[in-house]
């Protein structure tokens, strides 16, 4: 073993005495070269190296040594191999940093010849201790660790030789999360105990990306996932956007099936994310009373993030360290946040996955969908969540319809939208045409038999009827009863929107049966007459509509009191027909912000609708469009794409 004595940068900020069982079980927070890390209580492996050998790499007063594991087939390991490994780790991972080179542990699958020029190079990185696994069969071999561990940054205890994973800590400065989570015993999770400076927001911990390798059975290995706080995650509380609800009920004892499928596929659950109250539509300033609405990171950062998957939308739009979020869509709750926060987002075919251990809004329309910046992660996540309920297909539909598209571009946003349409037509080798489903309805036998001359007469009251009656019965009434029983007959505070909607649900103005009947009439008509299934292409056609056109919707606006979410629009098609409606970000466009008094950029997105069960067609299309460069995976932050020197978006 050889070592050098450069002053590395480790300082322990806060950790309690090892003698107290409670604080050691919650892990520790450590600072390496100015960046905060969480060190879990449970070790993943151990080195059989003594204190005398390890102490050279410690900093005064601390036993935790930042250490990098480098494993591979290294017949020779010299300065250039070391530099190459460091460059690779830095490019692939946000948790690794040079501070972790304080100790290096080399594991080679073949006997490794260590070159003399390593010593000087290691010392330039501040290395104090270089260890080689015994299986590396090297002249400086020391020890094997007890359990094989992959590449990446770790912490090793100089006292015990225990090796711990490193979680980088991030401040949730956009307020997208309710709390950070960390895996605990036997499939349970617990609230992350760490806290770092930030704007009164939770701290989220993410493990090194280097620990994980995606495989066929683990296509989401290492993918960092946030979960909308209406899904149960065993060991943590579910708040559903209500302080009273969070306080009243205990930690969940089961993980929702939808979340479990993500975990089984290798996804890392890093936190619970904000929902508007009980997943009802709420506007930032007017309606969010119990909690503050998350911040939409796009533009100057003061556009409404939309709802109800507000946390998932804002978090995916804001944080490059977050890969995927699980939201839910009853009436637009994945699609709208995906559009305005600049990411992919899907409302799937209804009933593709059972929503057990999930808060209900309207089980007749509730769906579980994803938000993400990457079409390939989107597709992989869809495949593991909806599994065999996704219908297979052999080619893309050739019939492409649009509705609501501008004829000519009168704004830059419309130009982005029309440019995408032209490229999509080229990709599918087809020409789009306008679908006038309103006229198709008015001339249908169903319009005649229901005495509903237009779709608005049939459906304007359907959505409010279904959600208010179902949520009042399944959630509102039992919650109020449970709360009263636990609080001497008291009523909990309810935000204005759910309060108003539950009031309508209790009224006798419409009936659930009437709503179900109208929904069924529309569903049957749409799926038979407008968008039938096709053996080869799954869906006979695809329908596109503009999702968002870079229009600011400032959050500092006082709105009217709540009203019924009544009406008819293109966004209702998927809700009533039970078909997929998926948001694809296609670009960004400028606006002159009245807040920053500067030109800023907001997302441009398109929605794509297909026949029931044909979600896989759109997942595949989105993936291929991204691979072909027709769309680009957006970046997190104020702008989705950066302009290169030629003015093109990258």
Ligand X SMILES: *[C@@H]1O[C@H](CO)[C@@H](O)[C@H](O)[C@H]1NC(C)=O
Q: In the complex, which residues of this chain contact ligand X (CB under 6 A)?
A: 72, 78-81, 84-85, 88, 111, 115, 117, 121, 137, 185-186, 188, 234-235, 251, 253, 351-354, 387-389, 407-408, 429, 445, 448, 450-452, 457-458, 461-462, 465, 503-504, 507, 509-510, 514-515, 518, 592, 597, 599
DSSP assignment string, 540-577: SEEEEEEEEES---BSS---PPP-------TTHHHHHH
Residue 235: closest CA among 272, 184, 192, 273 = 184
Complex with ligand X: residue 29 or 136, whichever CB lies closer = 136
8 Å CB contact between 306 and 336? yes
Q: Give the sign of the dihedral formed by CA 405, CA 408, CA 412, CA 418.
A: positive
Report the nearest approach of ligand X to the CB of residue 494 (Å). Answer: 16
Give residue for tokens 């494993």: 71
Nearer to ligand X, 515 or 547 (CB): 515
Nearest to 117 by CA among 87, 77, 86: 77
Smaller CB separation from ligand X, 33 or 351: 351
Give the residue carrying structure tokens 């409404």: 304
In the bound complex, what is the minimum distance in angstroms from residue 603's beta carbon to ligand X? 20
* CB 556 to ligand X: min, Å: 17
CB of 503 to ligand X, least distance (A): 6
Which of 17, 408 has the CB closer to ligand X? 408
Which CB atom, from 510 or from 626, has the smaller least distance to ligand X?
510
**Least distance in angstroms from the C-beta of 492 to ligand X:** 18
Angle at 141 between CA 139 and CA 147, to 5 degrees: 155
Q: Closer CB to ligand X, residue 62 or residue 482?
A: 482
* Least distance in angstroms from the C-beta of 62 to ligand X: 29
Give the nearest distance from C-beta 590 to ligand X in angstroms.
Answer: 9
Helix, strand or coil, per DSSP, at residue 533: strand
Burial class for 20, CB neighbours closer than 10 Å (0-12, 13-18, 19+):
exposed
Measured from the CB of residue 308, what is the shortest distance to ligand X in angstroms? 22
Residue closer to ligand X by CB (options 13, 434) is 434
In the chain, what are the helix, strand and coil shares in percent, each to the nearest 5?
30, 25, 45
- Distance of alpha carbon 467 from alpha carbon 477, whole angstroms: 14
Phi, psi angles (nearest 5°) of residue 388:
-70, -5
Instruction: Tell me which residue of 570, 623, 608, 628 sits closest to 432, measured CA to CA.
Output: 608
Q: Which is nearer to ligand X, 3 or 88 (CB)?
A: 88
Tokens of 204: 């989220």
Neighbours of 401 (CB within 10 A): 20
| CB of residue 357 to ligand X, shortest distance in Å | 9
Closest CA to 304 of 283, 273, 328, 278: 283
38 vs 504 by CB, closer to ligand X: 504
């Amino acid at each position: 073993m050889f070592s050098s004595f450069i002053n590395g940068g480790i300082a322990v900020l806060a950790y309690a005495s090892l003698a107290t069982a409670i604080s050691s079980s919650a892990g520790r927070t450590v600072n390496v070269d100015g960046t905060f890390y969480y060190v879990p209580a449970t070790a993943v492996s151990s080195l059989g190296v003594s204190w005398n050998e390890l102490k050279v790499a410690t900093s005064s007063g601390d036993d935790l040594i930042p250490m990098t594991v480098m494993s591979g087939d290294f017949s020779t390991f010299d300065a250039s191999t070391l530099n190459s490994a460091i460059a690779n780790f830095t490019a692939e991972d946000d948790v690794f940093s040079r501070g972790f080179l304080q100790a290096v542990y080399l594991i080679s699958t073949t006997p490794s010849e260590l070159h003399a020029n390593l010593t000087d190079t290691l010392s330039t990185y501040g290395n104090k201790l270089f260890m080689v696994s015994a299986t590396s069969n090297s002249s400086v071999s020391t020890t094997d660790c007890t359990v094989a561990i992959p590449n990446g940054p770790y912490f090793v205890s100089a006292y015990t030789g225990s090796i711990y994973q490193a979680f980088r800590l991030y401040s949730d400065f956009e307020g997208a999360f309710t709390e950070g989570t960390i895996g605990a015993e036997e499939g349970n999770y617990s609230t992350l105990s760490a806290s770092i400076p930030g704007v009164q927001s939770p701290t989220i911990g993410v493990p090194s990306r280097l620990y994980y390798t995606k495989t066929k059975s683990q296509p989401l290995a290492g993918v960092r996932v946030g979960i909308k706080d209406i899904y149960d995650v065993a060991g943590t509380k579910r708040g559903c956007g209500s302080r009273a609800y969070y306080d009243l009920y205990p930690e969940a004892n089961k993980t929702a099936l939808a979340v479990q499928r993500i975990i089984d596929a290798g996804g890392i659950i890093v936190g619970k994310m904000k929902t508007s109250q009980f997943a009802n539509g709420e506007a930032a300033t007017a309606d969010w009373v119990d909690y503050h609405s998350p911040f939409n990171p796009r533009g100057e950062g003061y556009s409404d993030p939309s709802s109800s998957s507000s946390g998932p939308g804002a978090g995916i739009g804001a944080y490059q360290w977050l890969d995927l979020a699980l939201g839910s869509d009853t009436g637009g709750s994945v699609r709208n946040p995906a559009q305005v926060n600049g990411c992919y987002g899907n409302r799937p075919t209804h009933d593709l996955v059972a929503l057990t251990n999930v808060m209900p809004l309207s089980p007749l329309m509730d769906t579980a969908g994803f938000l993400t910046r990457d079409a390939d992660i989107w597709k992989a996540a869809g495949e593991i969540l909806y599994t065999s309920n996704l219908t297979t297909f052999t080619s893309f539909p050739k019939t492409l319809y649009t509705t609501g598209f501008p004829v000519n571009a009168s704004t830059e946003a419309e130009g982005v939208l029309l440019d995408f349409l032209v490229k999509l037509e080229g990709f599918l080798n087809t020409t789009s045409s306008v679908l006038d489903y309103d006229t198709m309805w008015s001339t249908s036998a169903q319009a005649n038999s229901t005495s509903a001359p237009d779709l608005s007469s049939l459906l304007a009251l359907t959505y409010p009827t279904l959600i208010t009656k179902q949520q009042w019965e399944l959630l509102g009434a039992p919650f109020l009863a449970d709360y009263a029983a636990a609080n001497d007959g008291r009523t909990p505070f309810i935000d204005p929107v759910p309060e108003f909607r539950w009031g309508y649900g209790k009224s006798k103005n419409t009936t659930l049966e009437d709503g179900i009947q109208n929904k069924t009439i529309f569903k049957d008509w749409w799926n038979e007459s407008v968008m039938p299934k096709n053996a080869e292409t799954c869906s006979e056609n695809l329908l596109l509509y503009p999702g968002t056109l870079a229009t600011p919707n400032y959050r500092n606006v006082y709105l009217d009191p709540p009203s019924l979410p009544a009406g008819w629009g293109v966004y209702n098609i998927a809700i009533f027909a039970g078909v997929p409606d998926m948001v694809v970000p296609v670009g960004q466009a400028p606006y002159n912000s009245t807040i920053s008094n500067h030109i800023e950029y907001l997302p441009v997105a398109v929605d794509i609708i297909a026949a029931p069960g044909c979600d896989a067609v759109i997942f595949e299309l989105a993936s291929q469009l991204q691979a072909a460069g027709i769309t680009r995976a957006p970046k997190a932050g104020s702008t989705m794409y950066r302009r290169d020197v030629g003015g093109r978006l990258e």
